[in-house]
Amino acid sequence: MKKLLTSERWMNELDLARISKLNAPFPPELNAALDNAEFIKPQDIPADVVTMNSLFTIVETESGSTNKLMLCYPSDAEPAKGYISVLSPVGASLLGRKAGTVAQWATPNGEQHFAVIKEILFQPEASGDYTT
């Protein structure tokens, strides 16, 4: 699989509206995502893009470990079960990225992490769900 480290992002307008209503500070990764994203209608989002409530796999570049994650809102986050908040550095770095690209984030202690988005297993928009 081709690995691309890119700032290119696609986000749907509904995700933007809902994220904008969250009453919490945004991590730098989310601000960067919002600043660099191309915003499109939910029905026009490519099926290989991580959107809210998408289920996908990542492969961490350093360890090679594979993880199945779902990008969710903070109230639904359970990191130990793979439910990653969009307001976390990891979640914010994944939002709007295509399968095959590399996401980068920093832990609270400043350690840098990289992971390839391997596969989108479920995306609401690809299933015809443009409202949840």
Q: Domain map of the chain by residue range?
A: 4-124
The domain 4-124 is placed in CATH, from the list 3.90.78.10, 3.90.1200.10, 3.30.70.260, 3.10.50.30, at: 3.10.50.30
For the stretch 30-65, pLDDT in tens is 888 888 889 999 999 999 999 999 999 999 999 999
For the stretch 77-103, pLDDT in tens is 999 999 999 999 999 999 999 999 999
Strand partners of residue 116 = 59, 102
Order the strands of the 66-72 sheet from edge to edge.
4-5, 101-106, 112-122, 55-60, 66-72, 83-85
